[in-house]
Amino acid sequence: MIDDLLLAKILEQLSDQRKDAKQAKMQRRDEVVDLNGLEIQRAGDNNRPAVFYISTSKDLRYYHRFEFKLSIQPYQHIGEKEQPNNGDAPTLANVKVLIDGIDITAALSAQYGGDWIDSWGLYPEGNSMAMYDVLLAYENLAPWQQGVLLKPGFKKVEIFADGLFDVTMILYLKYSHGGI
């Protein structure tokens, strides 16, 4: 009888140890992706926006940071030859930013007192550390737009403007996702 109780106790402890070992192997921990200063360059014109694709993990938990700067310059590339910019490039106008089809231009502009991109240069202007904050823009959107903006997977960012232009997006993206 004592042997049966002792054997049952040992088997119970062994079973508990196996469960703990299995759980330790299967346990998932959040991991953080932190991309700061990633530069992506594209060109656009009146008929075609400059399009950027930003990848986030399918098991995205939440964003820590989603910010960017834009460096917009006159278009200087035709084929493989670089064309000199002699200073008579037309002025930039009607710049819009869309993420997954959601126009966030007004929300981004509001972050800097209504100042918006109106010529060639680095934006937002003024402070070299300033960036457009997508998560802050999120607060000014309708609930259905918020859902689209924060969904995981590929993000399609489109920059529209009048004229022919080169744009470099300087990205700061930080998010948590389920680990392996």
- Under DSSP, the state recorded for 21 is H
Residue 17 placed within a domain: no
Helix segments in the chain, DSSP class H: 2-26, 105-110, 134-138, 143-150
Residue 46 has pLDDT above 60, yes or no: yes
Q: What is the pTM of this model?
A: 0.74
Q: Establish how many alpha carbons lie within 13 A of residue 31's alpha carbon, considering only the half-sphere containing its beta carbon.
A: 10
Are the beta carbons of 30 and 180 closer than 8 angstroms? no
CATH number at residue 39: 2.60.120
Give the total number of structural domains in the chain: 1
Residue 4 placed within a domain: no
Residue 76 has pLDDT above 70, yes or no: yes
Residue 22 placed within a domain: no
Residues 6+ apart with CB under 8 A from 122: 69, 70, 71, 128
Residue 148 placed within a domain: yes
Residue 26 has pLDDT above 60, yes or no: no
φ, ψ (nearest 5 deg) of residue 121: 150, -165
Q: How wide is the angle at C-alpha 74 spanned by C-alphas 69 and 78, nearest 5°? A: 120
What is the extent of the structural domain holding 80?
A: 30-178
Residue 19 placed within a domain: no
Residue 3 placed within a domain: no
SS3 101: coil
89 alpha carbon, distance to own chain's centre: 31
Residue 69 placed within a domain: yes
Residue 42 has pLDDT above 80, yes or no: yes
Find the mean pLDDT for residues 48-67.
86
Query: pLDDT band at 8, cuts 50/70/90?
Result: confident
Residue 15 placed within a domain: no
How many other CB atoms are found less than 10 A from the CB of residue 97? 26
